[in-house]
Amino acid sequence: MNPYAPAPPMPGPLKAVRVILIIRIVLAAVLYSLALFGLLAVVSLPSAQVEAEMGMGVGGLTAILLYGLALTAFEVYVAIALGKGGARARTLVLVVVALGFASALLNLLTDSSNPALGIVLMAVILILIRTESAKEWFRVTDPGHQPLQGGHPGQGGYPGPGGHPGQTGSTGH
């Protein structure tokens, strides 16, 4: 693939993955902003009162907030990297899915929230990145990709079943 040629357009399933990630990022930004204001409000309270009402101290609440912010920052990075394509972007999306499933499992085990939506979104992302169009796009946008001789699907000269451009597999000489 010519490194100066424009990348093929992102297929629909991957555009949907990117939209899901962006929605998650926006919701997380809103929720973590509210959580930060809540944390600032409880800092002035006695620690025993905070622990009684929240189930943990200010330090624990701060750690959870920082962890969530780090995950959100990582999702921003992945959403940007997804636009560039390649095997690395696919791997980063898989890491987001794994972290999403792990967070949902943690929520289920700690009974802190309903993990159903998180599980469904991660499953949808996993299904979408495994579509044929997504796999092909990740492959052809990979910097180390060696194009097939004769071109890519959808471009003139793509090898037919016989291995040569225009050949249909029959040996009609």
**Boundaries of every domain in the chain:** 12-141
Mean pLDDT of 95-103: 94
Mean pLDDT of 128-153: 82
Mean pLDDT is lowest, of 16-20, 81-85, 104-108, 134-138, for: 104-108
Nearest to 17 by CA among 138, 139, 121: 121
pLDDT in tens, 21-76: 999 999 999 999 998 888 888 777 777 777 777 777 778 788 888 988 999 999 99
Q: Do 11 and 134 meet the contact criterion of CB atoms below 8 Å apart?
A: yes
Q: What is the DSSP string of 76-93?
A: HHHHHHHTT-HHHHHHHH
106 by DSSP, 3-state: which? helix
pLDDT in tens, 101-126: 998 888 888 766 778 888 999 999 99
Residue 158 predicted with pLDDT over 50: no
Rg, Å, the chain Cα set: 23
Structure confidence at residue 149 as a pLDDT band (50, 70, 90): low
Q: Please tell me the predicted confidence (pLDDT) of residue 44.
A: 76
- Structure token pair of residue 160: 């037919």
Q: Do 20 and 75 meet the contact criterion of CB atoms below 8 Å apart?
A: no
Output the average pLDDT for the chain: 82
Positive or negative, the CA dihedral 21, 23, 24, 28 is positive
- Structure token pair of residue 142: 């990979």
List, in sequence order, every beta strand (DSSP E) within 43-130: none
Q: Please tell me the predicted confidence (pLDDT) of residue 157.
A: 45
Q: Please tell me the predicted confidence (pLDDT) of residue 151.
A: 53
The number of helices, as runs of H, and strands, as runs of E, in the chain is: 6, 0
> DSSP character for 24?
H
Q: What are the phi and psi torsion angles at 159 (to 5°)?
A: -60, 135
- Structure token pair of residue 86: 């390649």
Return the ∠ at Cα 72 (arms to 54 and 140), rounded to 5°. Answer: 155
Residue 5 predicted with pLDDT over 90: no
Residues of the chain by 3-state class (helix, strand, coil), percent to 5: 65, 0, 35
Q: Please tell me the predicted confidence (pLDDT) of residue 109.
A: 80
